[in-house]
Amino acid sequence: MSQSAKVLIVDDEELIRMNLRMLLEDLGYSVVEAANGREGLDAFDREGPDLILADLRMPVMDGLSMIARLREKSTETPVIVVSGTGTVQHAIDSLRLGAWDYVIKPVEDVKGFEVVIERTLEKARLMKENRLYREHLEEMVRERTEELRKAHDELKLRHQEVSRLKDMLADDNRYLFSELRSVSGDEIIGSDFGLKTVIEMVQQVAPLDSPVLLLGETGTGKEVIANAIHYSSRRKDGPFIKVNCGAIPETLLDSELFGHEKGAFTGAISQKRGRFERANKGTIFLDEIGELPAQAQVRLLRVLQSKEIERVGGTTSIPVDIRIISATNRNLQETVASGRFREDLWFRLNVFPIMIPPLRQRREDIPSLVHHFIDRKTKELKLRERPVLGHGAIDRLVAYDWPGNVRELENLIERALIQRRGGGMLSFETLSAPQDPGRHEGKREARGNRTVLPLDEMTVQHIRQALEMAGGKINGPGGAAQILGLNPNTLRSRMNKLGISFGRKSLKWRLNMEY
């Protein structure tokens, strides 16, 4: 740059200007001249020199004034004072005003002068570069800061969203954790026999959104059937939410069913969705519906009508798309008659009632249930081998009345497996004994892990299945005797011997369906 740099000479003496011009042009610089400070400022504006050589004493405007004015323009162009006065004071004044260097004239040390000029130009170039670089940096920092600020704002928003989702997940987790125990998903034993009609009804109603009311004694499998309805409906990928209406304290019921907003009441430290909201797009199972307190009955009715819920302490209505299955082991009609259950709610819930018969009315399912539970409990209890049934065990189990239904049977088998000592057989002798336990001759044999049913036990099961298929009929076309390829009298005497009841007794529950 120095070779093509433009130098402005400001001096009132023409001779000096000429000498300097020659000297500078020899060094390769281009030169502009001005005869006093005023002209110097004009030339500065017009020519934009890279360096100014300024005399001090000049007419019109002296050097110091010109330097002061230049400084006002906050220019980076370096000024070197070239003066004949040579007093220290002048040198100090001019440096204080912003001159970069001071040279005494006439210039005798040409080489030294050349060095001063080059060094000054180089320094100015570096300073300019430095300034540009700094400005560039500042611009970059500004841009990055702006980007970071935007990113930070976005992160803040995302964080809020994430923590909202986290709250929701934590809420779900708490809920699912407490519900984990009750997930069933088991196969339904007896679906081709004692529960055939129930299963047919399940198949009819599952694809619809109609409310279903499950009726049946305790332990008959109402929850199992509720599960079956949900998992064979189009809502199967949605949630299946269970509410035990009798198990939630009345004071918590509202918040449990409908949820609450943060701060809705003392202790509501975070927002919570109620079970209705969680069941959205799925099924809600209202177990023991007969236990629902009067106030909650009103609210439930409102949800059924409006298909909307409101959280406790909330102000907005939240639409919910749910299928309602309710269950009771009480005689709900009596409860309605006595005024403890609202009739309008009962009508809404009782759209499609399914009655699940007690186990004593479908004894044909007992052998399969027994084997199912022995298999399952053997696995659950991690027993080394599957226990075998002793003589007459099945008969005793089939003959017993099972007031606690399938649950009682399940518990009995679990208890028997736990209490069994030294690999003994399961005999269930403490159950009310069958009519004639001595007549069974069949022997159970176990080889390795495989067990073989005693022949009589097999026969009982087989005959019961045939009876079920024949709807209890023995004689004639489609009767049990024809199915089994036996003479009806032979079948009757076999049934007598094995203690199998006649007629439609085992199907009695079907008549109760008209409930």
Task: Note whether 291 binds Mg ion by CB under 5 A.
Answer: no
The stretch near Mg ion (CB under 5 A) out of 49-57, 104-112, 219-227, 477-485 is 219-227
| Cα angle: 192, vertex 222, 188; to 5 degrees | 30
* Region near Mg ion per CB under 5 A, out of 221-229, 258-266, 345-353, 455-463: 221-229
**C-alpha to C-alpha distance for 464 and 441, rounded to whole angstroms:** 19
- By beta-carbon proximity to ligand ATP, the closer residue of 66 and 212 is 212
Nearer to ligand ATP, 186 or 401 (CB): 186
How many Cβ atoms sit within 10 Å of the Cβ of residue 388?
A: 18
**Rounded to the nearest whole angstrom, what is the least distance from the CB of residue 352 to ligand ATP in the complex?**
17
Residues 442-461 that bind Mg ion (CB under 5 A): none
Q: How far is CA 125 from CA 112, 118, 128, 135, 289, in A?
A: 20, 10, 5, 15, 90
> Minimal distance in Å, beta carbon 374 to ligand ATP?
13
Strand 212-215 with 323-328, pairing: parallel
Cβ of residue 324: shortest distance to ligand ATP, in angstroms?
16
Residues that bind ligand ATP (CB under 6 A): 184, 186, 188-190, 195, 216, 218-224, 329, 406-407, 410
- Give the contacts of 141 (CB within 8 A, at least 6 positions apart): none
Minimum distance, C-beta of residue 513 to ligand ATP, in the bound complex (Å):
16
Q: How far is the CB of 494 from ligand ATP (least distance, A)?
A: 27
Residue 311, class by beta-carbon neighbours within 10 Å (0-12 exposed, 13-18 middle, 19+ buried)? buried
Among Mg ion, ligand ATP, none, what binds residue 26 when CB lies within 5 to 8 Å by partner kind? none
Token representation of residue 27 = 């060094």
Q: Which residues pair with 171 in a beta bridge?
A: none
Nearer to Mg ion, 223 or 468 (CB): 223
Structure tokens at 431: 């159950």
Measured distance CA(10)–CA(31) in Å, rounded: 11
Beta carbon of residue 313, minimum distance to Mg ion (angstroms, whole number): 31
**Residue 188's binding partner out of Mg ion, ligand ATP, none, with CB under 5 to 8 Å set by partner kind:** ligand ATP
Q: Which residue lies nearest ligand ATP, judged by its C-beta?
A: 221
Q: DSSP string of 431-480?
A: SPPPS-GGG-----EEETTEEE--HHHHHHHHHHHHHHHTTT--SSTTSH
> Binding to Mg ion by residue 55, rule CB under 5 A?
no
By beta-carbon proximity to Mg ion, the closer residue of 60 and 247 is 247
Least spacing, CB of residue 354 vs ligand ATP, in Å? 11
Answer whether 30's CB lies under 8 Å from 1's CB.
no
Q: Which one of ligand ATP, Mg ion, none interacts with residue 434, CB within 5 to 8 A by kind?
A: none
Note whether 223 binds Mg ion by CB under 5 A: yes
Q: With respect to ligand ATP, which residue has the nearer C-beta, 126 or 183?
A: 183
Asked if 185 and 231 count as a contact pair (C-beta separation under 8 A), the reply is yes
Considering the complex, state which of residue 85 and residue 184 has its C-beta at the smaller distance from Mg ion: 184
Cβ closest to ligand ATP, residue 109 vs residue 186: 186
Assess contact for 466 and 483: CB atoms under 8 A. Answer: yes
Q: Which residues bind Mg ion (CB under 5 A)?
A: 222-223
